[in-house]
Amino acid sequence: MPARDAGRAPLSIAVIGGGPGGLYAAALLKRLDPDRSVTLWERGAPDDTFGFGVVLSDETLGGIEHADPAVYRALRAEFVRWDDIDIVHRGRTLTSGGHGFAALGRRRLLEILHERCHELGVDLRFRAEAPPAAELAAAHDLVIAADGVHSLTREAHAAHFAPRITRHRCRYIWLAADFAFDAFRFEIAETEHGVMQLHGYPYAAGASTVIVEMREEVWEAAGLGGLDEQASAEHCAKVFSDALGGRPLRGNNSSWTAFRTVVNEHWSYGNTVLLGDAAHTAHFSIGSGTKLAVEDALALAACVEEQPDLAAALTAYESERRPVVASTQRAAAASLRWFEDLARYLDQPARQFAFNLLTRSRRVTHDNLRLRDPGFTDAVEREFGCEPGTPPMFTPFRLRGLELKNRVVVSPMDMYSAVDGVPGDFHLVHLGARALGGAGLVMTEMVCVSPEGRITPGCTGLYTPEQAVSWRRIVDFVHEQAPGTAFGVQLGHSGRKGSTRLMWDGMDQPLDTGNWPVAAASPLPYLPGVSQIPHALDRAELAGIRARFTAAARRAADCGFDLLELHCAHGYLLSGFLSPLTNQRTDEYGGSLAGRLRFPLEVFDAVRESWPAERPMTVRLSATDWAEGGTTVEDAVEIARAFAAHGADAIDVSTGQVVPEERPEFGRSYQTPYADRIRNALAVPVVAVGAISSWDDVNSLLLAGRADLCALARPHLYDPHWTLHAAAEQGYAGPGARWPLPYRAGSRTPPTGRTDAPRPRLSLN
> What pLDDT score does 741 carry?
87
pLDDT tops 60 at residue 585: yes
> What whole-number distance in Å separates Cα of residue 584 and Cα of residue 546?
20
pLDDT tops 60 at residue 231: yes
Helix, strand or coil, per DSSP, at residue 139: helix
Residue 367: CB atoms within 10 Å = 17
Q: Does 201 participate in catalysis according to the annotation? A: no
What residues form DSSP beta bridges with 274?
A: 145
**How confident is the model over 516-545, as pLDDT tens digits?**
999 999 999 999 999 999 999 999 999 999
> What whole-number distance in Å separates Cα of residue 143 and Cα of residue 131?
11
What mean pLDDT do residues 279-293 have? 89
What residues form DSSP beta bridges with 489?
A: 564
Percent of the chain with pLDDT over 70: 97
What mean pLDDT do residues 736-746 have? 89
Q: Taking a C-beta distance cutoff of 8 angstroms, is the pair 67, 296 a contact?
A: no
pLDDT confidence bin for 752, thresholds 50/70/90: low
H/E element, 397: strand 397-399
| Buried b or exposed e, range 468-482, using 16+ CB within 10 angstroms | bebbbebbebbbeeb
419, exposed or middle or buried, with CB in 10 Å at 0-12, 13-18, 19+?
exposed
**How confident is the model over 311-352, as pLDDT tens digits?**
999 999 999 999 999 999 999 999 999 999 999 999 999 999
Q: What is the 3-state secondary structure (H, E, C) of 49-84?
A: CCCCEEECCHHHHHHHHHHCHHHHHHHHHHCEEECC
Backbone angles phi and psi of 486, in degrees to 5: -85, 150
Residue 579: CB atoms within 10 Å = 21
Q: Taking a C-beta distance cutoff of 8 angstroms, is the pair 604, 652 a contact?
A: no
Q: Taking a C-beta distance cutoff of 8 angstroms, is the pair 296, 321 a contact?
A: yes
> What pLDDT score does 5 carry?
47
Helix, strand or coil, per DSSP, at residue 239: helix
From the candidates 201, 463, 526, 572, give the one annotated as an active-site residue. 572
What mean pLDDT do residues 715-742 have? 94
406, exposed or middle or buried, with CB in 10 Å at 0-12, 13-18, 19+?
buried
H/E element, 610: helix 593-610
> What whole-number distance in Å separates Cα of residue 431 and Cα of residue 422?
14
Residues 6+ away with beta carbon under 8 Å from 638: 593
pLDDT tops 70 at residue 760: no
pLDDT confidence bin for 101, thresholds 50/70/90: confident
> What whole-number distance in Å separates Cα of residue 153 and Cα of residue 619?
49
**667 Rama sector, left if φ>0, alpha if ψ -120 to 50, beta otherwise:** left
**How confident is the model over 239-253, as pLDDT tens digits?**
999 999 999 999 988
Average pLDDT, the chain: 93
H/E element, 636: helix 633-645
- CA distances, 333 to each of 65, 202, 630, 662 (Å): 30, 25, 21, 19
- Report the DSSP pairing between strands 163-177 and 80-82: unpaired
**How confident is the model over 492-505, as pLDDT tens digits?**
999 999 999 999 99
- CA distances, 286 to each of 53, 155, 335 (Å): 14, 27, 7
Helices (H), 345-464: 350-358, 366-372, 374-384, 425-436
DSSP state of 3: P
pLDDT tops 60 at residue 6: no
> What pLDDT score does 373 carry?
94
pLDDT confidence bin for 758, thresholds 50/70/90: low
**How confident is the model over 157-184, as pLDDT tens digits?**
999 999 999 999 999 999 999 999 999 9
> What pLDDT score does 668 carry?
83
DSSP state of 529: T
> What whole-number distance in Å separates Cα of residue 141 and Cα of residue 8?
12
**Angle, to 10 degrees, between the axis of helix 695-703 and the axis of helix 374-384?**
60
